[in-house]
Amino acid sequence: MRPPRLRLHALAAAGILTGSLLVGLAGAPGIAAPAPTGTAAPRSAAAAAAPAAAVTHEAENAFVSKGLVESNHAGHTGSGFVNYDNATGSYVEWTVNAAQAGSATVNLRYANGTTTNRPMTITVNGTAVASNKAFNGTGAWTTWSTTGLTAGLKAGANTIRATATTANGGPNVDHLTVDAGSTPVPGTTPVGINGQLTVCGTKLCNQYGKPVQLRGMSTHGTQWYAQCLTGGSLDALAKDWNADVLRVSTYVQEGGYETDPQKFTDLAHSLIEQATARGMYVIVDWHMLDPGDPNANLSKAKTFFTAIANRHKDKNNVFYEIANEPSGVTWSKVKSYAEQIIPVIRGIDADAPVLVGTRAWSSLGVSDGADESETVNNQVSASNIMYTFHFYAASHGDEYLNALSRAADRIPVFVTEFGTQNYAGEGANDFATSQKYLDLMAAKKISWVNWNFSDDFRSGAVFKDGTCNSNGPWTGTGSLKPAGVWVRDRIRTADTFPTG
């Protein structure tokens, strides 16, 4: 019997995202296996982009609820500004047209002649992208300041609303500027090439029906390491690392989701949008560890996945990982849980693949002395699903490798987490065993995600300590630990996806 692999948090408390909230909204192997017959679409290391100019939207031309258009304070642009009523819920709403879906820089110009913060919540198309964003005093009503965020816009008309959240109302608002910036040219990113992925037999197949292998990174717990997930770090993951997929790990316990469901759901939304804007696939990971029986969090899981699916059902790049690492529980109970959660997702999002955790810390039962046969012979009653397998090379040798190999010939498997260290994600790296796994996964088209994209002190975190609080540098290998250098090299190896 193998001991459980603990996912421990950093000894020092990690910070949280500060400054602008980043939201994007849209619409490499060891030994590579031979490409299937047909035309392969090359993937560029950095997607081409099309620039767009900033557009100013005056507040006096927007829809105003509980406020007045005035012009008695100098320095405004246009014909005036909006003076919010001193009331919670007063707002200004702009309609912004976008030529195409993608991320945009949104700046709001305002004045606050008081010494009291007048916070507002900024929503895009009805979804909060910055809750209680600070609008501090500017020194005078004639002193104008600009604050910004990166938001996601859909193609066509969008609504952007700034709503006061206290009885003081909002500041005086002059205008909104929107710079669409750049979006990847279609057909140059993993999602642009492959489109909606589906399970075909034991493989993951693209929109052309061809088997593909995705390679990418998992976040650490977003309650600890959100500061590692910035526009710059995710740009590096997509363009410098050349990653296909980002796994977003929302811990249920351990200071995660259960402490503030709305906060962590919103953070998951944000990271899904950012991955989408960069043309990557995204795995929404319900990261349950303790208790190990996923049924203990069944009600919470239904609430979380309902919210996620409702928001992202029209995307073609989302995977739902419904139970990270079941432990101390029978496979029949894990299967029962899956058969209760999957219909909740399918009732909203009929197309996205669902990833089902397997027994004994997603080891297909091996860590409890069993093997893959319990899953193979008693599969979940659902279609378009894959089973997850996790390994840590310094702890999990040939017994695990052989189980993965046998299972992949019988059922669809996705390695949603692995490390080159021991089962705690720490200690010396075993790159030789890790490469054996990668060679097997390349040969059998098993997609994989490495743990983890943070600067946690353990050897399994790819960045050196302090990188995230220093905001990088994110590209190249200067900020990477040995495991980071090794896995980046294997993710970024030029990939081709078959299209014909």
Residue identified by tokens 């659902």 is 382
Q: Which one, of 106, 138, 111, lies nearest residue 122 by Cα?
A: 106
325 is catalytic: yes
Amino acid at 63: F
Q: 419's torsion region: left (phi>0), alpha (psi -120 to 50) or beta?
A: beta
Q: Which two tokens stand for residue 88?
A: 């919670």
From its phi and psi, is residue 252 left (phi > 0), alpha (psi between -120 and 50) or beta?
A: alpha
Q: Where are the alpha helices (H) located in 236-362, listed in sequence order?
A: 261-277, 298-312, 331-346, 359-362
What contacts 407, CB < 8 A, 6 or more positions away?
364, 372, 375, 376, 387, 389, 413
Classify 189 as helix, strand or coil: coil
Taking a C-beta distance cutoff of 8 angstroms, is the pair 268, 248 a contact? yes
Catalytic residue among 273, 321, 417, 426: 417
SS3 415: strand
Please give the Cα distance from 306 to 304 (Å, whole number). 5
Give me the catalytic one of 254, 325, 372, 374.
Answer: 325
Tokens 């495991």 sit at which residue? 483
Give the containing element (helix H, strand E) for 177: strand 172-181
As a whole number of angstroms, the distance between CA 473 and CA 455 comes to 12
DSSP, residue by residue, 123-165:
EETTEEEEEEE-----SSTT--EEEEEEEEE-SEEEEEEEEE-
111, 143 Cβ separation under 8 angstroms: yes
CB 241 within 8 A of CB 492: yes
3-state SS class at 403: helix
CA separation for the pair 216, 191 (Å, rounded): 13
Told to judge if 339 belongs to the known catalytic residues of this protein, a careful annotator would answer no
- Taking only Cα atoms into account, the Rg of the chain, rounded to an integer number of angstroms, comes to 24
What string of H, E and C letters represents the secondary structure of 288-301? CCCCCCHHHHHHHH
296 vs 299: CA distance, rounded Å: 8
Give the tokens for residue 159: 């609504």
Q: Show which residues are catalytic.
A: 325, 417
